[in-house]
């Protein structure tokens, strides 16, 4: 399991409570850190430039979470794109960083394709900028990563290989990848496996089968409660020697996390660290 979308605005007291509870249950976990919070459209009124190094309490909490069984993961540089809605508010944590997504009037989404600047060098620069911010805060670049919003281009995945050893996510695959033809971004499929695999982009990818806890609907995404996670985990057991994982946002009630962990344990699942998956 992993804790999702942690940025420099997060409440460290809440993070401590979650880490303490997981540790009391002998549940190792991954946790994503976005090193740079920006809000260029002032959607949240929280300021547009908040770096990890400017938040010593969060820096200390990262070390605390690591001591409690947490594995830090990179979750992009800003987890948003430019000064536009992509597709929601333009704010860190809300929007996609490496892929252009627009929203229709009915809140359904259009995966348009790579952002205008997309190239191997551009994606590498994003990861290098994140690496610098981690270093400035006293941390090495994490070896695990998750692309913001689970979306990236083929060259972005290639760029990630130069910085990370494994990904914890669902990934996008495009027509042309296997045939050696030009990549066709109008034909895209999301895919996840109930095993740890090395995918067509030559990255180790951890199983990501259960999705995330979402107590309330979010635009086109329906609510997803612990009972839904547990029900899918039950179905996942038909896979021999399969793996399962889910994610949780720490701004939601810890009771959702507790219900999910307890339910998964009751099905016979054993929690392991991302490094052991």
The CATH number of whichever domain residue 113 belongs to comes to 3.20.20
> Residue 75: which domain range?
2-208
126 part of a folded domain = yes
pLDDT of residue 100: 97
238 part of a folded domain = no
258 part of a folded domain = no
- DSSP lists the bridge partners of residue 72 as 31
pLDDT of residue 221: 80
Q: Over 90: is that where the pLDDT of 239 sits? A: yes
Question: Of the ranges 153-162, 216-225, 250-259, which one carries the lowest mean pLDDT score?
Answer: 216-225
- DSSP lists the bridge partners of residue 191 as 171
Residues in contact with 111: Cβ distance below 8 Å, sequence separation at least 6, in sequence order: 99, 100, 101, 151, 172, 188
* 188 burial via Cβ count (<10 Å: 0-12, 13-18, 19+): middle
Measured between alpha carbons, how far is 249 from 93 in angstroms, rounded to an integer? 11
Quickly state the pLDDT bin for 187 (edges 50, 70, 90): very high
* Mean of pLDDT values over 234-257: 96
Q: How far is CA 127 from the centre of its chain?
A: 15
User: Looking at residue 143, what DSSP letter applies?
Assistant: S
Alpha-helical segments (H) within the chain: 12-24, 56-67, 120-136, 154-160, 226-236, 254-266
* Mean of pLDDT values over 132-148: 98
232 part of a folded domain = no
189 part of a folded domain = yes
Residue-wise over 193-230: b if at least 16 C-beta within 10 A, else e?
Answer: bbeeeeeebebebbbbbbbbbbeeeeeeeeebebebbb
Closest among 26, 30, 54 to 274, alpha carbons compared:
30
Can you say whether the dihedral through the CA atoms of 262, 264, 267, 269 is positive or negative?
negative
The region that residue 82 occupies, defined by phi over 0 for left and psi between -120 and 50 for alpha, beta otherwise, is left
Question: For a pLDDT cut of 90, what percent of the chain falls above it?
Answer: 93
Interval 7-34: pLDDT, tens: 999 999 999 999 999 999 999 999 999 9
pLDDT of residue 225: 98
Quickly state the pLDDT bin for 5 (edges 50, 70, 90): very high
Q: How many domains does the chain have?
A: 1
183 part of a folded domain = yes
Q: Over 90: is that where the pLDDT of 46 sits? A: no
Quickly state the pLDDT bin for 103 (edges 50, 70, 90): very high
Joined tokens for residue 269: 């699942």
233 part of a folded domain = no
pLDDT of residue 192: 85
pLDDT of residue 218: 80
Interval 204-217: pLDDT, tens: 999 999 999 999 98
Quickly state the pLDDT bin for 124 (edges 50, 70, 90): very high
pLDDT of residue 220: 76
* Mean of pLDDT values over 117-146: 98
pLDDT of residue 243: 95
Residue 9 vs residues 13, 52, 104, 191, 251: alpha-carbon distances, Å? 12, 9, 29, 31, 11
121 part of a folded domain = yes
Joined tokens for residue 52: 């990890």
Interval 51-100: pLDDT, tens: 999 999 999 999 999 999 999 999 999 999 999 999 999 999 999 999 99
Measured between alpha carbons, how far is 23 from 186 in angstroms, rounded to an integer? 44
**Looking up tokens 């979402």, which residue turns up?**
214
Joined tokens for residue 224: 């997803």
Mean pLDDT, the chain, rounded, equals 96
């Amino acid at each position: 399991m992993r804790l999702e979308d942690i940025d420099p605005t997060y409440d460290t007291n809440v993070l401590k409570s979650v880490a303490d509870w997981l540790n009391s249950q002998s549940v190792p976990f991954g946790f994503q850190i976005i090193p740079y919070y920006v809000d260029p459209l002032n959607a949240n009124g929280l300021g547009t430039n908040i770096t990890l190094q400017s938040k010593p309490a969060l820096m200390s909490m990262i070390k605390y979470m690591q001591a409690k069984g947490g594995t830090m993961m990179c979750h992009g540089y800003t987890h948003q794109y430019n000064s536009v809605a992509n597709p929601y508010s333009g704010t860190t944590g809300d929007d996609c960083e490496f892929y252009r997504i627009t929203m229709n009037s009915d809140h359904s989404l259009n995966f348009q394709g790579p952002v205008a600047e997309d190239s191997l060098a551009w994606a590498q620069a994003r990861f290098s900028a994140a690496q610098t911010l981690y270093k400035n805060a006293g941390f090495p670049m994490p070896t695990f990563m998750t692309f913001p919003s689970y979306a990236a281009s083929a060259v972005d995945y290639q760029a990630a290989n130069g910085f990370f050893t494994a990904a914890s996510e669902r990934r996008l695959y495009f027509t042309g990848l296997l045939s050696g033809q030009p990549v066709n971004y109008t034909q895209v499929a999301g895919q996840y496996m109930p095993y740890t695999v090395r995918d067509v982009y030559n990255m180790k990818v951890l199983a990501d089968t259960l999705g995330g806890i979402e107590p309330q609907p979010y635009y086109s995404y329906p609510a997803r409660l612990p009972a839904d996670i547990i029900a899918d985990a039950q179905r996942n057991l038909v896979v021999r020697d399969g793996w399962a994982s889910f994610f949780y946002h720490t701004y939601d009630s810890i009771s959702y996390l507790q219900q999910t962990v307890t339910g998964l344990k009751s099905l016979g699942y054993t929690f392991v660290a991302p490094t052991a998956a």
